């Protein structure tokens, strides 16, 4: 749906040009919810402005719906912009217009619809975002979450193929954030709209996205399915963002370093395995004890996960590791280079 190839973009700074984007290759598939995460200054908003063609790249190409749009102009540019709905952090509503008036605005701008048709469309849009009863209110009479629902209805007015959300939930409390993300997912499901969610919060990615790209200093440093990136981050920038989302930031790694004499392993249970009493059974069968050093449990979208760092000790640690793997648990040895299992077994004195 959206493809960026070798995108570079610099801005003039006090000490010469500053590279905001430094060779971005990215593909967002039709119909998915794609997350772009990065800390402040990583280049996220610049990327958004390039996708909706508010800004031109210094180098590289932008494709939307298979079409090269890097230097689209005039009529074509306007049509392209209409096919990309924007949702903003601070809502950007017109304070002098009612809720219905805000949603009608982009339809009025096209000049393509009569009064009645606009009214019908606006009513349907407000129904979709759950604001039918608030149509005649003004933005100042709404909560933050309601304002963002207006923003979403407005973004959908011209039936875009893509919804670009730049920090759309960053001004909202956690509960409202959840409700707005649920709404975006519902819209994605019902209308098939491709959604790009730009955020600095890993929780937003965890709750809403299919895939994610991690942006760090103008580069994509990591990309993949959210389950993989969230549970097994590879790049330091990703690890930082994951830790920020943890209640006790960083405990997983600190624990890895403080191996208590046993074999420290990181166990990841996902899906049905997260709810099964696998660890106790395997420990009993192999006469192994375990100390839990760190852990986190939760959901990635609907998928439950549990991840622990445990120190295994006792009779048959290698057997326990093999048993865990056979039960669908992902096992990563911590703090040492992986040792071939054969050797480990051979060391056992029974």
Ligand X SMILES: Nc1ncnc2c1ncn2[C@@H]1O[C@H](COP(=O)(O)OP(=O)(O)O)[C@@H](O)[C@H]1O
Q: Is 268 in the site for Mg ion (CB under 5 A)?
A: no
Indicate the angle between helix axes 115-128 and 99-110, nearest 10 degrees. Answer: 130
Task: Report the residue number whose CB is nearest to Mg ion.
Answer: 45
- The nearest distance, CB 200 to ligand X, in angstroms, is 7
Task: Please check whether residue 21 is in contact with residue 8, taking contact to mean a CB–CB distance below 8 angstroms.
Answer: yes
Assigned token pair, 180: 């707005």
Indicate the residue among 44 and 206 with the shorter CB distance to ligand X. Answer: 44
Indicate the residue among 12 and 349 with the shorter CB distance to ligand X. Answer: 12
Q: Is 45 in the site for Mg ion (CB under 5 A)?
A: yes
* Interface contacts to ligand X, rule CB under 6 A: 11, 18, 20, 38, 40-46
Indicate the residue among 88 and 105 with the shorter CB distance to Mg ion. Answer: 88
Helix (H, G, I), strand (E, B) or coil at 97: coil
Strands (E), the chain: 2-13, 16-28, 33-37, 59-64, 67-68, 84-88, 162-166, 194-199, 211-216, 219-225, 263-270, 288-300, 303-314, 330-333
- The nearest distance, CB 140 to Mg ion, in angstroms, is 25
Q: Is 170 in the site for Mg ion (CB under 5 A)?
A: no
- The nearest distance, CB 200 to Mg ion, in angstroms, is 8
- The nearest distance, CB 41 to ligand X, in angstroms, is 4
Choosing among Mg ion, ligand X, none, which partner's interface includes residue 156 (Cβ < 5 to 8 Å by kind)? none
- The nearest distance, CB 89 to ligand X, in angstroms, is 10
Helix (H, G, I), strand (E, B) or coil at 198: strand
Alpha carbon distance 280, 257 (integer Å)? 24
The sign one gets for the Cα dihedral 324, 273, 226, 202 is: negative
Indicate the residue among 20 and 255 with the shorter CB distance to ligand X. Answer: 20
- Please give the residue ranges that form the binding site for Mg ion (CB under 5 A): 44-45
């Amino acid at each position: 749906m959206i493809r960026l190839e070798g995108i570079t973009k610099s801005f003039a700074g006090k000490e010469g040009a500053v590279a905001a984007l430094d060779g971005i290759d990215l593909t967002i598939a039709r119909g998915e919810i794609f997350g772009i995460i990065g800390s402040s200054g990583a280049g996220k908003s610049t990327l958004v402005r390039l996708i909706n063609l508010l800004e031109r790249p210094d180098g590289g190409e932008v494709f939307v719906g298979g079409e090269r749009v890097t230097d689209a102009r005039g009529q074509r540019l306007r049509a392209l912009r209409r096919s990309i709905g924007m949702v903003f952090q601070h809502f950007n509503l017109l304070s002098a217009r009612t809720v219905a008036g805000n949603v009608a605005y982009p339809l009025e701008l096209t000049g393509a619809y009569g009064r009645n048709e606009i009214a019908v469309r606006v009513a349907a849009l407000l129904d979709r975002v759950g604001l039918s009863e608030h149509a005649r209110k003004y933005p100042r009479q709404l909560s933050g979450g309601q304002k963002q629902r207006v923003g979403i209805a407005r973004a959908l007015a011209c039936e875009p193929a893509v919804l670009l959300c730049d920090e759309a939930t960053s001004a909202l409390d956690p509960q409202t954030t959840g409700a707005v993300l649920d709404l975006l997912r519902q819209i994605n499901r019902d209308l098939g709209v491709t959604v790009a969610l730009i955020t600095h919060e890993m929780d937003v990615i965890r709750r809403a996205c299919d895939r994610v790209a991690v942006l760090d200093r103008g580069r994509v440093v990591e990309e993949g399915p959210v389950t993989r990136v969230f549970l097994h981050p590879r790049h330091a920038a990703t690890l930082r963002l994951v830790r920020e989302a943890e209640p006790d930031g960083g405990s997983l790694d600190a624990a890895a370093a403080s191996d208590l004499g046993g074999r420290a392993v990181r166990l990841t249970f996902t899906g049905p395995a997260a709810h099964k009493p696998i660890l106790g059974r395997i420990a009993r069968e192999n006469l192994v004890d375990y100390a839990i050093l760190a852990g986190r449990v939760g959901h990635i979208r609907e998928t439950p996960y549990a991840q622990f760092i445990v120190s295994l000790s006792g009779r048959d640690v290698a057997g326990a590791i093999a048993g865990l793997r056979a039960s669908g648990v992902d096992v990563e040895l911590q703090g040492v280079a992986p040792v071939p299992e054969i050797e480990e077994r051979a060391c056992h004195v029974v």
